[in-house]
Structure 1
Amino acid sequence: MKCIILIIDGMADRPTKENDYKTPLQAAKTPNMDKIAEEGINGIMDPISPGIRVGSDTAHLSILGYDPYKVYTGRGPFEAAGVGVDVKPGDIAFRCNFATVDENFVVLDRRADRIREGTDKLAETINSMKLEEDVEIIFKESTGHRAVLVLRGENLSDKITDADPKVENKRVKDVKPLDDSFEAKFTASILNKFVKNSYKLLEKHPINLKRIKEGKKPANIILPRGGGKVPSLENFCEKYNLKAACIAETGLIMGIARLAGMDVIEVPTATGGTDTDLNSIVKTILSTLDKYDFLLVNIDGADEAGHDGNFEEKKEFIERIDEVVISKILNCEDICLVLTADHTTPVSVKDHTGDPVPIVIRCPGVRIDDVKRFDEISASKGGLGRIKGSDIMNIILDLTNRSEKFGA
């Protein structure tokens, strides 16, 4: 039996007074998700533990059966691996944003108008930067406004703060060491030079001059954050005796899969966000399924709408997923399907929160409960109860008769 974990990134939400005390998922018309709920066992899931505000990285690690408190070193290494950088032991990797600042380094837009085009040319320019003879800079664009930075060399440390203030109308932060070691002080100095030099190189770049003419904000600085050393993960395929692959749009999720030893199947036309090509995603899922025992699928878009505080956009994107993706997967036979989110991203908060997310498992032989709709409130009444992300792989292995008995 095949297994699919389908994660709709940031889909879960909180009810708002302005929208008749409904979440976007409750307000959305999702007949196909509802059918899965009706034919499966439902519940709510804490990606790590109740009240913990998880990132997509720590949530996915937990869902795949890893302990984030033991293996997580920062988001940067996963982002770097996800966009194809061959990260090595000792490397310090950062996730980055192409951003917009004024001449005083005040951040005007952390995502540079959600830039989509020309980032490869900007990345080429950044890679021409020279800082220290013994430190190599590897910079690569990811999807949209995202990018990665890897520092390679001697005397480097990940015990440093972020340059990204994480909000608009604040100055770019000075990177500081988190301990008194020479390595931390040296790395903080390197990163501060990198940020300042990125502004010098990008301020008058032809791509940005063109953007300004078009009335768009320039991507005139690189803001690194989430630095970490490359972690060591137990091979997922060997751990569970599964031939496994990942289908995702974002470098972060692809990077987690690569470092876990899973194959990564890239979606040719996926760009991330609510304008992503869902038809291309579902075609990739269906064409890949025969070759693997296990698929991890992540669909971005709902999360971005949540971060933007856009209720209607989030609702409509969920409806599109239901119509385009879920409707096709419903027709697959002999599948153990898990449908859930990795975290809650309420439009009222515009960030991740520690609320549990809805989850449903549709599988031959599963105990079907009385839930008829898939949403945060309906799912809480299901037979699965309240579980943790770290429970999912054990449940899947049991339902597909891959579990070994514990005890006599």
Structure 2
Amino acid sequence: MKYVMLHADGMADLSRQELGKQTPLQAASTPHLDRLAKEGELGILAAAPEGVRKGNGLMETAILGYDLKKYYQGPGPFEAASLGVTVGEQDVVYRCTMVTLRADASAGKGGLDQIKKLGPHVAMDDATAGLIATEEARELIEAINEQLGSETIQFYPGVGHRHLMVWVNGKVRAVCQDPQSLVGRPIADAMPTGEGADHLWKLMDASFQILRDHPFNAERSKAGQKQANCLWLWGQGRAVFWPSLAERFKITGTVVSQSDVHRGLGIMAGLEAVDRARLAEGDLRAQAAVALEDLKEKDFAYVHVELPDEVAYGSDVAAKVKAIEAVDRELVGPLLEGLAKSGPYRLAAFCDAGNVHQDQAAEGLGFFAYRDSAADPAAGSGRKFTEAHAQASTVPPRDATKFVVRLFAKGS
């Protein structure tokens, strides 16, 4: 028996006027995902318990079977695990997102060059710094670490606009905001508050002073590109020990993902992270092939797929529909075909709104389809892998943390 968890990250959404009040999933042609919904079990995931902080990696922690109140500390530690950054028990890992700030026209303060400190006269323009390339961002992160790094503060380069800051013996209880939720808004009311906030504020302000005047950003402006002119700190947490899936269920496994959050999450769960070089960035067929190849030697594959950044962070709804169709055609189809040839399998496909729309009503649209090839296909004629069909299912909401027990159950 082979076991697969497929996480379709960010594909759930709200209904859109441009699509005739359909969601992108409803508008997309997804025959392979629809087959899972029709032949298996379709339903929604129960909401996270009260008191659990929201953030990237939350649902993934749950579907891998870990108690959210005990094991979910925020996405920062996941990225540290993926990047191989060693942190101590009392160290705090912050997500360090490279963003573009602009002068808020309503404040009448002129351009950014006239702004001395971050405050109400500054607004969030772009939470990805114009989708800055990894190598370009590395130069800026290294400049920041050279000037702001110390025995207690270190900055580490990641991928694209996503990087890390480790605060040795740092404060973890600050309230920090996801920069994506601030686009187009003044940042004053969204700066860190609570324990350690003063230090975080100073670091962010200092990063603004350094990056705004960096020659690299002058070149970006001349080229018509958005400046990467500030580091936004958020998503913090301490790394905690996770009992491995191998220990709990006596299985071997792999995580197939380009995302540092999901690679790190898999590593913390004791899975082997596939080398990015094997995934041929953006090639969905390669991702399916790698998962199937690794399943020849391993029992379990956690396959994470997310829409391209330019689609996930953009406003082109038609592009999102096409991207969803590509996932179904180039990843899900080949994966199901390969699994059918290899013998009996169980596959659980999960879909949520992802990290981009956390401030919208799309949050909480997590749903699943579950298929055991050894069981007779369900009579789900007309059922599709969509938010509406999952909501209409007669299956009661499932506790996401219990799903992994069902997946690996012997003889069921």
TM range (shorter): 0.7 to 0.9
Q: 1:2 maps to what in 2?
A: 2
* Aligned AA (1:77): P
TM-score (norm 1): 0.84
CA distance in 2 between counterparts of 1:269 and 1:195 reads 36
Deviation at 1:234, TM superposition (A): 1.8
Count of matched residue pairs: 385
Q: 1:160 maps to what in 2?
A: 174
CA distance in 1 between counterparts of 2:308 and 2:369 reads 16
Evaluate the alpha carbon distance shift between residue 364 and residue 136 of structure 1 in structure 2; reply closer, same or farther with a 3 A threshold.
Answer: same
Moved more, 389-398 or 363-372: 363-372
Matches within 5 A, 1:79-98: 79-98=79-98
Evaluate the alpha carbon distance shift between residue 344 and residue 140 of structure 1 in structure 2; reply closer, same or farther with a 3 A threshold.
Answer: closer
Deviation at 1:111, TM superposition (A): 1.4
Evaluate the alpha carbon distance shift between residue 101 and residue 303 of structure 1 in structure 2; reply closer, same or farther with a 3 A threshold.
Answer: closer
Evaluate the alpha carbon distance shift between residue 125 and residue 347 of structure 1 in structure 2; reply closer, same or farther with a 3 A threshold.
Answer: closer
Q: 2:59 maps to what in 1?
A: 59
CA distance in 2 between counterparts of 1:267 and 1:378 reads 35
Deviation at 1:319, TM superposition (A): 0.2
User: 2:284 aligned with 1:268, yes or no?
Assistant: no
Which of 346, 363, 378 is 1:368 aligned to?
378
Q: 2:105 maps to what in 1?
A: none
Contact 1:32-1:327 at 8 Å conserved across structures: yes
Deviation at 1:316, TM superposition (A): 0.9
Evaluate the alpha carbon distance shift between residue 317 and residue 311 of structure 1 in structure 2; reply closer, same or farther with a 3 A threshold.
Answer: same
Partner secondary structure for residue 295 of structure 2: helix
Partner secondary structure for residue 364 of structure 1: coil
* Aligned AA (2:238): K
Partner secondary structure for residue 277 of structure 2: coil
Unaligned runs of 5+ in 1: 179-183, 404-408
Which of 259, 262, 265 is 1:256 aligned to?
265
Contact 1:76-1:227 at 8 Å conserved across structures: yes
Which of 397, 401, 404 is 1:393 aligned to?
404
CA distance in 1 between counterparts of 2:362 and 2:243 reads 28
Q: 2:187 maps to what in 1?
A: 171
Matches within 5 A, 1:345-384: 352-365=362-375, 368-372=378-382, 373-380=384-391, 384=395
Provide, for residues 2-42 of structure 1, a one-character-per-residue CA deviation record: whole Å limited to 9, x for no partner: 10100000212233344223211111111222223333232
Bigger proportion of residues as helix: 2
CA distance in 2 between counterparts of 1:329 and 1:396 reads 17
Deviation at 1:135, TM superposition (A): 1.4
Q: 1:337 maps to what in 2?
A: 347
TM-score (norm 2): 0.83
CA distance in 2 between counterparts of 1:53 and 1:25 reads 27
CA distance in 2 between counterparts of 1:113 and 1:346 reads 15
User: 2:138 aligned with 1:124, yes or no?
Assistant: no
Partner secondary structure for residue 158 of structure 1: coil
User: Aligned residues: percent identity?
Assistant: 26
CA distance in 1 between counterparts of 2:357 and 2:317 reads 6
Provide, for residues 219-277 of structure 1, a one-character-per-residue CA deviation record: whole Å limited to 9, x for no partner: 111111022222222222211211122111211111211222221113327698xxx32
CA distance in 2 between counterparts of 1:347 and 1:163 reads 13
CA distance in 1 between counterparts of 2:258 and 2:373 reads 26
Q: 1:198 maps to what in 2?
A: 207
* Aligned AA (1:44): I
Contact 2:99-2:127 at 8 Å conserved across structures: yes
* Aligned AA (2:14): R
RMSD between superposed Cα atoms in Å: 3.0
Contact 1:343-1:352 at 8 Å conserved across structures: yes
Contact 1:46-1:388 at 8 Å conserved across structures: yes
Q: 1:319 maps to what in 2?
A: 325
CA distance in 2 between counterparts of 1:290 and 1:360 reads 22
Provide, for residues 369-400 of structure 1, a one-character-per-residue CA deviation record: whole Å limited to 9, x for no partner: 324422223344557443121231122123x5
CA distance in 2 between counterparts of 1:286 and 1:85 reads 29
User: 2:304 aligned with 1:298, yes or no?
Assistant: yes
Contact 1:47-1:54 at 8 Å conserved across structures: no
Deviation at 1:56, TM superposition (A): 3.4
